[in-house]
Chain A
Amino acid sequence: MMDAARLLPLLGFGLMLLPLLWMPAGGALGTLGAKIYLFTLWLVLILLAVVLSRVLPREEEDAGDPAGPL
């Protein structure tokens, strides 16, 4: 799960760059479509963060010793 936490921002950054790939050379994107895509992506990231914020602290506690995982 901790690896997922580290991966999430990278995944998010990659997906944010995705619209650049759809764009035809020299062309333009529809603002509406791009906006819907980006805001949906945003919401998904927030939801994943909600899950992580619940799971991670518990996982650290389970790891036992107060020094935390090495």
Chain B
Amino acid sequence: MFKLPDGFTRHVGVLLMMAVLSACGQGGDEKAEAAAVTPPVASPWQSGYEDIGRTAKPAEVAAWDIDVRPDFTGLPAGSGSVEQGEEIWLARCAACHGDFGDSNKFFSPLALGNVTPQDIESGHVAALNDPTRVRTTLMKVATVSTLWDYIDRAMPWNAPKSLSTDDVYSLVAYLLSLDYIVDEDFVLSNENIAEVQARLPNRNGMTQDHGLWKIDGEPDVHNTACMTDCESSVEVASSIPSFARNAHGNLRDQMRSFGPFQGVNTSEEQGEKMMLASEDKAPAAPKAGLAASAPMDLLTSNGCLGCHQVDNKLVGPAFTAVAKKYADREDAVAYLSQKIRQGGSGVWGGATMPPMAQLSEGKADEIASWLAQ
């Protein structure tokens, strides 16, 4: 900025600066100061938008207002038996949740038999105090309306909102029967659902007595902003074990390839294989290309890593195990590529690998080549 000649009043100086600034297309503090000279004028049109939007028609509200509250407000009339529920369950739910709602293959188990008659009596599920127990839906849920509402709005997984009202009653009845909350000949309806609520094992297991609901709630954990000599001893209690260093893939390829904090190479062997798979690529991006983010990205974006890890068996075999098994097979790339695209079961156990049909042959080949090498 330039210096004002002596004798200029502040006002004139500002005007002069404005002229200079507008000439070179700049703004800044001076402009704000100028604005203060000319008082702002409020828009007279602070309202007037009352006619925007329209009244919802009753049929429209009925079509979308599907929520069911704990007091059963919103619950449509209907009924369904455990027996009918089992039939629908086996056809539409069991593939993901298992015949008895106990599968953890795709989702956390819904029912596992961790609920006791004493829990049904007390309304507190005792097994929630046992850290070794898997926490199932029926152990946790305190409101039967939640089951009804969720199945109705979001299930089945791949075809939400395709169940009839009576289907939903049947499925809730079947699910509850899996932990003996209702008998196997039970018929659930809007008339008797409140009685089921009174038997829900964890119905008394929720508390709203905490400070995290309201913005001015009282915190339950308190620290102080000590600045010097705050700890008498500092002991590391936990770190990532060395065998798990590479469980999230090579960290070198997850950091910027320049700058002061580059990534640690956590997988030398894996790094070599990736490089082979991408060696024909233009060497334009040094480490990114090396990273063969190609296979890793494919594995990630296609959900492969949900079931497979590099070194460990998860739902499916470890990638290293697949590589080893087909190391000597001449048509390994073609075979693996086809298996990836078509899916299968039986080679590595009972778990089914879904077809990865969304992958083009080229992409499947890319993964297969990486595996084969």
A is bound by B: no
Which residues does A use to contact B, with CB under 8 Å? none
